Amino acid sequence: MRFSFLPIVILMMPILEIAGFIIVGKAIGLWLTLALVLFTSFLGLLILRLGGIGMVRNLQDAGRTGAQPADELVNGAMRVVAGILLFIPGFITDILGLLLLSPAIRRFFWKAFGPRVVVAGSFRQSGPRPGNYSGFDNGPGRAGDSKVVDLDEEEFHREGSAESPWSRKPDDRDLPKP
């Protein structure tokens, strides 16, 4: 049976965070410690907000060019994890979050854990394709197969029933009374 340190670390985190609060509180004082915790929480929210928008934009760009968005997905996911770690009150999680904001550390983690990650799925562009003027995706290889019919006013007209409010012209009966 394989032994894992992860459950022990998760159980020890609250104790380590409390010890961190005590050490930092003794060094800089109560109010500066609370201000630092609030600042890093606000920074974490800001990173989550901007990182999420940036990740979506990068994924869209990768999808438009047809590139595999694995690097953008991993970098964005690490920025999101960094924002979550900064939002959680505690100095150890803040240090880990700040480390994840560094591109060098993110590259190190990607090189260490990247070979174990499998990105599966179809990343193809949706929406209209070049030559497809219908606005619908006709499937792969059928971009120019759509048929566009251009009709003049004489060729297309609709005759509605007289009872329909959509077919009659507006008159004085339709105007609101003052």
Per-residue model confidence as pLDDT tens digits over 103-112: 898 888 888 8
Distance of alpha carbon 21 from alpha carbon 93, whole angstroms? 12
Q: Give pLDDT tens digits for 40-81.
A: 999 999 988 887 777 777 777 777 777 666 777 778 888 888
Please list the ranges in the chain whose pLDDT falls under 70: 1-2, 67-69, 118-146, 156-178
16: left (phi over 0), alpha (psi -120 to 50) or beta: alpha
Q: With DSSP H G I counted as helix, E B as strand and the rest as coil, what are the percentages for the chain, rounded to 5? A: 60, 0, 40
